[in-house]
Amino acid sequence: MDEASVNVESRTSPQDKRWTIMAALLGTNTAFMLFQGIAQETNPKFIREIALAIIAATVPFQGIYFLIYTFLLEHDGKLSPERIDKLRMASAVCQIVSYISLIGVGLMWYNISIYVGVAFILSTVLAFILIRSVMSPVTVADA
């Protein structure tokens, strides 16, 4: 088997990778909303309510991200550079807001175990800072 046919990672665009991450995040958030929402009805807890509210506030941004992604694919080559820049900026904002849902997931873990919750929230914040600093646009001086 040809090695190039197996190496999907090198043939996948950055937008496709982001789409996959966002899809996984949306699936995780939907599952948490469903199962923790059921648990909240039977055994209400304030911290779970806050976590569910954070996750619920981010879900529409995840949906908008997919709409923007699809719109850009459908109109590839037909949009002005200014419109593309605005859509990409909106997409980046949607991604950032979507990542905030991880704080809600962390609060759910905190609700289960204080140590796991604190560790998850701290590592999420550090990972968020790391990825945003590394993923910043490359300038001519950086290249």
Let me know if 4 is exposed, middle or buried by CB neighbors in 10 A (0-12, 13-18, 19+): exposed
For residue 26, give the nearest of 68, 58, 70, 72 by alpha carbon.
Answer: 58
> Domain limits of the chain?
12-134
Confirm whether pTM is higher than 0.85: no
pLDDT digits (tens, 9 = 90+) for 22-80: 888 899 999 999 999 999 999 999 999 999 999 999 999 999 999 998 998 898 888 89
